Amino acid sequence: MQRTAPLQTRRYLVAGARILAVAAVYFVAAKVGLLIALVRGQVTPLFPPTGIALACLLLLGMRCWPGITIGAFLVNVTIGPSFAAVVAISAGNTLAPVCACFLLARVGFRPDLLRLKDALALVFVAALGSMLISATIGTATLAMSGALQPGDFWVTWSVWWTGDAMGVLVIAPVLLVAATRRWHWDIPLVRWLEAATLILGVLVGTIVVTRLPVTLLFLIFPLLIWAALRFQQVGAAPCILIVAINVVIAAEGGYGPFHGLDLLNTMITLQAFNGAATLTALLLAAITSERNEAERSLQRAASQLSDAVRMLEPYSLLNRGLFRKAFRYRDEQGDPTTGPTTPPGPASS
């Protein structure tokens, strides 16, 4: 009993520290995301805390959910229309990632994103599906509290859903890959140079195509394909983050392909592009990882089979030698009733 009490106290302290850490990270990330808020200073097209919340639930467990609620409440309490609305919005911001985590567990999701089913589940179940909860609860709360005009409901809802979904699609893969990978630093210099060239190309390319007066966003896809095929999730996740941040900034400022679009069309274009880019990169990375794992499995099987044949070969030679000697002895001795089968040699004089 004396040992059990300190262990329980330590567990409680660790759990409390995790909850406070999640709340602090959520709060800081939310303040950063709200810098580009488009509606009432609290609805943004990229809300990083949603992705952070989902990653924390997947990596640390469901027990850290109070940290999400605390962080969401502290963020909204200074900008919410009323205390009741703040409570409702905080509940929606907590319920969406919790439901996403529960649904991902039901489909057998693995945080390493090495399988095709994991990438599909993250995009469709967690991002595009579960984030409908927070967007609907939050927008309905603003409308019922009188902080939102009835005609602005669907525009605000589209921005809210886009922001939460983008938080999952952009932030969660980076955190999950960083936490689940075994990092090896003894990599050839050529690979480091290739990675640096890729990151620089994605950054410069995205900035250029989002500032041009013509729509050339599709030019980003070859770079994302390069990242997925050559570096799998380790390259795809950060490239998606770079692309999404620059495209969101362009959408918020009305640059390039977003020039002249109203808020609803801007959100539709933004969500369609970021969703397609994320889906392309993550699916290609997962398919490449599965192919590489299949090749490694075949190589291991071939190696094991070769070792087995090599181990059996001496016994096979020995068996063939023994049988050969037995047959030779039988031929020399012959059957007891008929005598030897080998004809006798010439008689000596």
Q: Answer yes or no: are the C-beta atoms of 122 and 113 closer than 8 Å.
A: yes
Q: Note whether 61 and 38 are within 8 A (CB).
A: no
pLDDT surpasses 80 at 339: no
The tokens describing 111, both together, are 């945080």
217: amino acid identity, one letter? L
HSE of 142 in the Cβ direction (CA atoms, 13 Å)? 27
pLDDT digits 0-9 by tens, 9-66 = 777 788 888 899 999 999 999 888 887 766 555 567 788 999 999 999 999 988 899 9
* 74 Cβ contact partners less than 8 Å away, ≥ 6 residues apart: 23, 27
Task: Report residue 224 as tokens.
Answer: 């994302």
pLDDT tens for each residue of 258-317: 887 877 788 788 888 888 888 899 999 999 988 888 888 888 888 887 777 767 655 555
- Select from 170, 103, 95 the least CA-distant residue to 132: 95
Torsions phi, psi for 45 (to 5 deg): -75, -5
CB 59 within 8 A of CB 111: yes
- Is the model more confident about 153 or about 99? 99
Q: What is the pLDDT of residue 338?
A: 53
- The C-alpha atoms of residue 299 and residue 294 are separated, in whole angstroms, by 9
From the list 293, 235, 247, the residue with the least C-alpha distance to 115 is: 293
Q: Is the pLDDT of residue 1 over 90?
A: no
At 283, which amino acid appears?
L
Which whole number is the average pLDDT over 104-132?
90
Q: What pLDDT does residue 349 have?
A: 37
Express each pLDDT in 35-48 by its tens digit. 776 655 556 778 89
Nearest to 173 by CA among 113, 95, 252: 113
**73-111 pLDDT tens trace:** 998 888 877 888 899 999 999 999 999 999 999 999 999
Residue 244: pLDDT over 50: yes
Does pLDDT of 347 surpass 50?
A: no
Q: Amino acid identity, residue 25?
A: V
* CATH number, span 1-181: 1.10.1760
Q: What is the pLDDT of residue 104?
A: 94
CA-CA distance, 113 to 50, in Å (whole number)?
18
Average pLDDT (332-343) is 54
Q: Give per-residue pLDDT as tens, 204-218.
A: 999 998 888 777 888
What is the pLDDT at residue 329? 56
Band (pLDDT 50/70/90 cuts) for residue 325 is: low
Q: Across the chain, what does the average pLDDT equal? A: 83
Average pLDDT of the segment spanning 238-246: 91
Where are the domains positioned within the chain? Answer: 1-181, 184-333
For helices 131-144 and 83-106, the axis angle rounded to 10 degrees is 170
